[in-house]
């Protein structure tokens, strides 16, 4: 681990000041500390924001939900409003990591997670995210768990967060505060595809702090749920996951919000699937037909070709789980 300075801040302006001066924010530390130990991350200054008053989870006036950036994963998952209105968020969180990690890790940190690509995490391997221009060892290497969507010549790592898949599906917004003031970014624009600059992972300006993630109002009742497919039953990142939320009125799907994880370099919104669902009546045939377009544009690598079919099947399954019929 490289030497670093450590400052704990007690108010938001002090945090933003320290962040603008080049400090790296640390909350739960469940990703950052690991990466520092592996010398993948070498921050010179850590700014501990865990004491900031950004932990509230509250309904918004518009009928949505605002989740403070420092709310712990476990707190959000167990929150009665989250459970009642957005089971997809609770499930995505509870299928993540382990209880110990969920007790430490914050929502803001969760969507800031860095890739799990083993070449990224091995400082002796080539990785454009870690060391721009050094190459991508994964592209021609062992890439069973890597992305099939949103990849570039420079990077093929997936975004590892489960919660981000639920947020992408529900079209959350990310509230930011920086030296230039507040701004809000839609989730689809928050996580960045690697393109030619894989080292840029989020739409964040220097010193900006995530203050909250907001779920917009959706028509109710909104049935939703998260399915995570993985080799073992727990404590593993997704091979494939699907977040599905449906609002059905008069026997017709009025609203469909669908996203997938484990397949994209960012959490992957499945707009084509949504379009096939809206205005239709739930049926087995519909789920199959909608899921058929889930992997549109997929570019599989040497070892992850199975993800194309598995993505379709996972989406199909979760449409049925949430939308019913059988």
For 173, half-sphere exposure in the C-beta direction (CA atoms, 13 angstrom radius) is 14
The answer to whether residues 298 and 308 touch, using CB atoms and an 8 Å cutoff, is yes
Cα 135 from Cα 154, distance rounded (Å): 7
* Among 61, 80, 181, 233, contact with another protein (rule: CB under 8 A): 233
- Cα 197–chain centre separation: 19
Measured from the CB atom, the residue of 83 and 116 that comes closer to another protein is 116
Among 21, 306, 324, 325, binds another protein (CB under 8 A): 306
> Site for another protein (CB under 8 A): which residue of 61, 80, 181, 231?
231
- Applying CB under 8 A, the span of 21-29, 116-124, 170-178, 287-295 interacting with another protein comes to 116-124
Site string for another protein, 197-216 (x = CB under 8 A): --------------------
Task: Give me the least distance between CB of 117 and another protein, in Å please.
Answer: 10
Among 20, 103, 118, 217, binds another protein (CB under 8 A): 118
The Cα-based distances of 165 to 187, 219, 260, 262, 265 in angstroms read: 10, 20, 6, 9, 12
3-state secondary structure of 272: helix
Minimum separation from the CB atom of position 8 to another protein (A):
20
Stretch 155-184: interaction string toward another protein, x if CB under 8 A:
------------------------------
| Of residues 153 and 309, the one with the C-beta less far from another protein | 309
Residue 140 binding another protein, by CB under 8 A: yes
Sequence-distant (6+) residues with CB within 8 A of 176 are 182, 183, 184, 185, 204, 205, 208, 209, 210, 211
Applying CB under 8 A, does 6 fall inside the site for another protein?
Answer: no
Least distance CB 142 / another protein (angstroms): 5
Q: Could you list the beta-strand ranges (E) of 129-239.
A: 173-178, 181-186, 209-215, 223-229
* 292 near another protein (CB under 8 A): no
Q: Among 117, 211, 270, which residue's Cα sits nearest to residue 127?
A: 117
Task: Name the residue among 73, 20, 23, 64 with its Cα closest to residue 179.
Answer: 20
Choose the binding region for another protein from 20-28, 146-154, 234-242, 252-260 (rule: CB under 8 A): 234-242
Q: Which of 234, 254, 302, 325 binds another protein (CB under 8 A)?
A: 234
Pairing of strands 65-68, 45-48: unpaired
Task: Return the beta strands (E) in the chain as ranges.
Answer: 5-8, 24-26, 45-48, 57-59, 65-68, 173-178, 181-186, 209-215, 223-229, 240-249, 252-261, 268-269
CB-based contact 165:124 (threshold 8 Å): no
Q: Of residues 314, 315, 319, 322, which one binds another protein by CB under 8 A?
A: 314
Site for another protein in 76-115 (CB under 8 A): none
Binds another protein (CB under 8 A): choice among 10, 39, 184, 302: 39
The torsion angles phi and psi of 138, rounded to 5 degrees, stand at -75, -30
Q: Binding segment for another protein among 57-65, 117-125, 193-201, 243-251 (CB under 8 A)?
A: 117-125
**Could you tell me if 280 and 253 are in contact, meaning their C-beta atoms sit under 8 angstroms apart?**
yes
Output the smallest distance, CB 155 to another protein, in A. 16
Q: Is 29 in the site for another protein (CB under 8 A)?
A: no
Nearest approach, Cβ of 216 to another protein (angstroms)? Answer: 31
137 is a contact residue toward another protein (CB under 8 A): yes
Positions touching another protein (CB under 8 A) are 1-3, 38-39, 116, 118-119, 121-125, 137, 140-142, 144, 229, 231-237, 239, 305-306, 309-310, 313-314, 317
């Amino acid at each position: 681990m490289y030497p670093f300075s450590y400052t704990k801040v007690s108010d938001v302006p002090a945090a933003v000041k320290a962040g603008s001066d080049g400090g790296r924010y640390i909350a739960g530390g469940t990703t950052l500390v690991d990466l520092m130990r592996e010398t993948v991350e070498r921050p010179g200054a850590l700014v501990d924001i865990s004491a900031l008053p950004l932990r509230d989870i509250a309904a918004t006036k518009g009928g949505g939900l605002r989740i403070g950036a420092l709310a712990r994963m476990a707190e959000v998952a167990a929150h009665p409003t989250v459970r009642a209105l957005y089971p997809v968020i609770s499930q995505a969180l509870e299928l993540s990591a382990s209880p110990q990690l969920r007790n430490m890790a914050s929502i803001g940190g969760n969507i800031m997670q860095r890739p799990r690509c083993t070449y990224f995490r091995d400082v002796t391997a080539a990785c454009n995210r870690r060391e721009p221009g050094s190459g991508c060892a994964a592209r021609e290497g062992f890439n069973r768990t890597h992305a099939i969507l949103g990849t570039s010549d420079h990077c093929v790592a997936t975004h590892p967060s489960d919660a981000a898949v639920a947020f992408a599906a529900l079209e959350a917004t990310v509230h930011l505060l920086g030296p230039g003031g507040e701004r809000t970014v839609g989730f689809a624009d928050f996580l960045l595809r690697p393109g030619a600059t894989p080292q840029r992972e989020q739409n964040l300006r220097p010193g900006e702090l995530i203050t909250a993630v907001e779920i917009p109002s959706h028509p109710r009742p909104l049935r939703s749920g998260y399915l995570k497919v993985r080799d073992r039953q727990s404590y593993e990142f997704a091979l494939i996951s699907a977040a599905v939320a449906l609002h059905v009125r008069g026997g017709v799907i009025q609203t469909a919000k669908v996203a997938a994880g484990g397949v994209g370099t960012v959490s992957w919104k499945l707009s084509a699937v949504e379009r096939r669902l809206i205005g239709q009546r739930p049926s087995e045939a519909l789920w199959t037909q909608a899921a058929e377009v889930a992997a549109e544009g997929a570019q599989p690598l040497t070892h992850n070709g199975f993800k194309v079919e598995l993505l379709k099947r996972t989406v199909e399954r979760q449409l049925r789980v949430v939308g019913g019929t059988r």
